Amino acid sequence: MNGTLVTLKKELMSYFYSPVSYLIAVLFYLWRGYEVRSTVRAFAVYQLDQDLLPSACFGLTSTFFMVLLVPGVLTMRCFAEERRSGSIETLLTAPIRDVEVVLGKWLAAVAFYSLLWLPTVLLMWVLTLPPFLDTHLEFGPVFTSYCGMFLLSSMLLAYGCFASSLTDNLLLAAIVAILFNLGLLKLPELLRQELGATAQEPLVEQVLSKLDVMGNFGQWWARGLVDTSQIWFYLGGTMFFLFLTVLSFGARRVA
Amino acid sequence: MISVRDLRKQFGSTAAVDGLSFEVSRGEVLGFLGPNGAGKTTTIRVLTCFHPATSGEVRVGGFDVRTQAIEVRRCIGYLPENVPLYPDLRVDEYLHYRAALKGVPRKQRKSNVERAMERAGVLEVRNKLVGHVSRGYRQRTGLADALVANPPILILDEPTSGLDPNQRRRIKQLVKDLAQEHTILFSSHILAEVQDVTSRIVVIHRGRLRADGTAADLIAKGSSRTLRVEAHADAETLRRALVPIRGLSAPRTTDLGDGTTLLLAAIEQQGDLRDAVAQALAAAGVRVRELRVELPTLEEYFYSVTEGADRSEEGVA
């Protein structure tokens, strides 16, 4: 898997060179910092159950920003830029397999996305110290919250890579990815409204609850509970989209 | 090293390459010629495993492009026509990345990159961003990329296009130097440089092979030598004076307007006719301003097997 490691390194370097990455980071940290500070203050003032803090923090608007917009914007360049600039020709004529390139690019996106989240753990820890909340925070739910976010984002970034492999237009790639994310966030709610009573049937309800990504976050991950079926859902989705990306990327040879 | 047999590549209903066959031997520098749209880049893309062939058999370095693509790509250094590079990387970062991607062992990577940069002449811009260097340096960076894994075969698709005459000269010299260690397929439509750099030439047109041989062979196969005479006489006198000379045909005359006439005639026999022509003109009392034999060029041959052939076919139809 030499090709994967080399691609991962080069793509990570590109993320750190890109002004878009810094723009996302600055926007996210300012927004997140403000929201978490307000939430923690509310918890202190109203003396709420500290165990609910991770759950409350994951329900913030900045989380939606990270789930809805950021995966598509981060991955839009992955393949669309290669096609637009023509560098796909040197990439596809190098002695590496398509799957190595796809994995390298996806892993770089996952690594950079995870790095964006990492300082927010520090933020929560700092806020529990004496000058701020001066309390003990249960880090179990925090850990599961971040694991859940990692799995979900892995799937969304895999889809972002797939969207990027379909076009040479960066904006279009980002829009296709964002629309998918929006669908994933809003579809269960819309289906519940449309189906009415049918949505209450056990099988339908079960399917809808599995699809309800953000609902599951509040109910399970952020409370320190891990549902293995959701792990399989995210892992399966990730592999499915990566597989589609390999097919789509390789199809360039036939074009 | 490269063997192409009955290659056919179709895009929808259009055949970009139509039954093309040629070989390139070890150590040879093959000039791959053809007008725009002839199928040169498509053929190269099949050789480099970027496009699959619709049919035919293509082997590079002894490996089949269809079933052993990774091995084929390992023995090729490829410079695509538009030299696509990553503008956000520095020149040496880019070459280190490409060396790693091509599987150059970590220990050799630094020395390979240094050598490739030195050979391609990009040492002075090694710390500059690829996006900030001139077109000539981008071209040379692409060439350094083709060299970095030290492959036995180099495929250079129009490496001098868009360069100024000095840059073209440097690239040409570099290709000549590289010919000592590599088998090279050099695609271009600048005939003079192909003639200068390559040991053999293949001409394709409309996806088909039109000619294969050394530059001298192809020129010899082409149009005949031309006798050019400028003299102080009218056309009729000039024609009559040259009637006794055997081996001249299709004389064409042009009145140059100052009492002189230009005569051009095809020479259809071997040997130097200049003495005989000079004597015949002197005997007829014609004062000669210029007398010379024009040799055929590769350009004329190229025209005769490409566009010229098309016109003849259209005429027949």
State how far the Cα of A234 lies from the Cα of A64, in Å rounded to an integer.
17
Reply yes or no on whether the pLDDT at B314 is more than 70. no
Question: Is the residue at B300 inside a domain?
Answer: no
Q: How many CB pairs under 8 A join A and B?
A: 69
- B255 shares a domain with B148: no
A49 Cβ neighbours under 8 A, 6+ residues apart: none
**Structural domains in chain B (count):** 2
Question: Is the residue at B301 inside a domain?
Answer: no
pLDDT of residue B172: 84
Q: Which of B45, B70, B82 sits opposite A95 (nearest CB)?
A: B70
The strand pairing partners of B125, in sequence order, are none
- B198 shares a domain with B290: no
Reply yes or no on whether the pLDDT at B316 is more than 60. no
One-letter identity of residue A49: D
Structure tokens at A127: 């806020």
- B199 shares a domain with B101: yes
Q: Which of A85, A94, A97 sits opposite B84 (nearest CB)?
A: A85
pLDDT of residue B310: 67
Query: Which position has the token pair 């016109």?
Result: B311
**Contact, B136 vs B163, CB < 8 A?**
yes
Test B70 with A14 for CB contact under 8 angstroms.
Answer: no
Question: Is the residue at B210 inside a domain?
Answer: yes
Residue of B nearest to A254 (CA): B51
Query: What's the Cα-to-Cα distance from A142 to each of A40, A77, A116, rounded to whole Å?
Result: 14, 31, 16
State how far the Cα of A252 lies from the Cα of B17, in Å rounded to an integer.
19
Test A89 with B93 for CB contact under 8 angstroms.
Answer: no
Which chain B residues are within 8 Å of A3, Cβ to Cβ? 101
State how far the Cα of B183 lies from the Cα of B28, in Å rounded to an integer.
5
| A89 min Cα distance to partner chain B (Å) | 7
List the single best residue of A93, A101, A254 to mutate versus B (max B Cβ within 10 A): A93
Residue of B nearest to A89 (CA): B50
Structure tokens at B39: 């199928």
For chain A, give the percent of residues with pLDDT over 70.
Answer: 93
Residue of A nearest to B146 (CA): A90
- B187 shares a domain with B112: yes
Domain CATH for B151: 3.40.50.300
Question: Is the residue at B313 inside a domain?
Answer: no
Query: Which position has the token pair 């503008």?
Result: B87
Instruction: Output DSSP code: residue B297.
Output: -
Q: Which residues of B touch A (CB under 8 A)?
A: 45, 48-52, 70-71, 73-74, 76, 78, 80, 82, 84-89, 93, 97-98, 100-103, 145
Test A97 with B102 for CB contact under 8 angstroms.
Answer: no
What is the three-state SS of A34-76? HHHHHHHHHHHHHCCCHHHHHHHHHCCHHHHHHHHCHHHHHHC
A3 touches chain B (CB under 8 A): yes
State how far the Cα of A155 lies from the Cα of A211, in Å rounded to an integer.
13
Sign of CA dihedral B79, B80, B82, B83: negative
State how far the Cα of B190 lies from the Cα of A22, in Å rounded to an integer.
46
A160 touches chain B (CB under 8 A): no
B34-75 tens-digit pLDDT: 888 888 999 999 999 998 889 999 999 889 998 899 999 999
For chain B, give the percent of residues with pLDDT over 90.
Answer: 29
More confident residue, B41 or B296: B41
Classify B94 as helix, strand or coil.
helix
- Indicate the length of chain B as a whole number: 317
- B265 shares a domain with B198: no
Instruction: Output DSSP code: residue B286.
Output: P
Element (H, E) at B78: strand B76-79
More confident residue, B297 or B13: B13
Query: Which position has the token pair 């070890």?
Result: B26
**Gyration radius of chain A over CA positions:** 20
Domain CATH for B271: 3.30.70.260
What is the pairing mode between strands B248-255 and B261-267?
antiparallel
* Segments in chain A forming alpha helices (H): 2-17, 19-46, 53-58, 61-68, 70-75, 77-85, 88-92, 98-127, 139-165, 170-195, 202-211, 213-219, 228-250
State how far the Cα of A218 lies from the Cα of A145, in Å rounded to an integer.
9
Angle in degrees, CA B255, B256, B258, rounded to 5: 110
More confident residue, B86 or A197: B86
**Contact, B238 vs B253, CB < 8 A?**
yes
Q: Which of A2, A14, A93 sits opposite B50 (nearest CB)?
A: A93
Which chain B residues are within 8 Å of A14, Cβ to Cβ? 86, 88-89
A144-181 tens-digit pLDDT: 888 888 998 999 999 999 999 999 899 999 999 999 88
State how far the Cα of B235 lies from the Cα of B237, in Å rounded to an integer.
6
pLDDT of residue B181: 86
pLDDT of residue A238: 94
- B168 shares a domain with B77: yes
State how far the Cα of B207 lies from the Cα of A163, in Å rounded to an integer.
35
- B150 shares a domain with B169: yes
**Gyration radius of chain B over CA positions:** 25
Which chain A residues are within 8 Å of B48, Cβ to Cβ? 93
End of a domain among B200, B220, B240?
A: B220
Reply yes or no on whether the pLDDT at B236 is more than 70. yes
State how far the Cα of A219 lies from the Cα of A67, in Å rounded to an integer.
17
Test B80 with A6 for CB contact under 8 angstroms.
Answer: no
| B126 min Cα distance to partner chain A (Å) | 17
Query: Which position has the token pair 């062979």?
Result: B217
Reply yes or no on whether the pLDDT at B238 is more than 70. yes
Test B101 with A13 for CB contact under 8 angstroms.
Answer: no
The strand pairing partners of B157, in sequence order, are B187
Closest residue by Cα to residue B54 from B70, B43, B40: B43
Classify B292 as helix, strand or coil.
strand
A212-224 tens-digit pLDDT: 777 777 666 667 7
To the nearest 10°, the Cα dihedral for B169, B173, B175, B178?
Answer: -160
State how far the Cα of B207 lies from the Cα of B273, in Å rounded to an integer.
40
- B245 shares a domain with B124: no
- B150 shares a domain with B239: no
pLDDT of residue A254: 57
**Contact, B130 vs B86, CB < 8 A?**
yes
Structure tokens at B151: 């492959």
State how far the Cα of B127 lies from the Cα of B275, in Å rounded to an integer.
63
B147-175 tens-digit pLDDT: 999 999 999 988 887 778 888 888 888 88
Q: Is B213 left (phi over 0), alpha (psi -120 to 50) or beta?
A: left
| B267 min Cα distance to partner chain A (Å) | 49
| A253 min Cα distance to partner chain B (Å) | 5
pLDDT of residue B313: 61
Closest residue by Cα to residue A178 from A164, A165, A167, A168: A164
Reply yes or no on whether the pLDDT at B219 is more than 80. no
Assign A43 a pLDDT band (cuts: 50, 70, 90).
confident
Q: What is the mean pLDDT of chain B?
A: 86
**Residue A6 main-chain phi, psi, to 5 deg:** -65, -45
pLDDT of residue A175: 94
State how far the Cα of B285 lies from the Cα of B232, in Å rounded to an integer.
10
- B249 shares a domain with B145: no
With a CB-CB cutoff of 8 Å, which residues 71-110 of chain A face chain B? Answer: 85-90, 92-97
List the single best residue of B14, B63, B101 to mutate versus A (max A Cβ within 10 A): B101
Residue of B nearest to A16 (CA): B88
Q: What is the mean pLDDT of chain A?
A: 85
Test A253 with B50 for CB contact under 8 angstroms.
Answer: yes
- B160 shares a domain with B289: no
* Segments in B13-156 forming alpha helices (H): 40-47, 69-74, 91-101, 106-120, 135-147
- Expressed as residue numbers, the domain containing B126 is 2-220
The structural domains of chain A, with segments of one domain joined by +, span 2-253
Element (H, E) at B305: helix B298-305
Test A94 with B73 for CB contact under 8 angstroms.
Answer: yes
Q: Is A18 exposed, middle or buried (0-12, 13-18, 19+ CB in 10 A)?
A: middle
Residue of B nearest to A7 (CA): B101
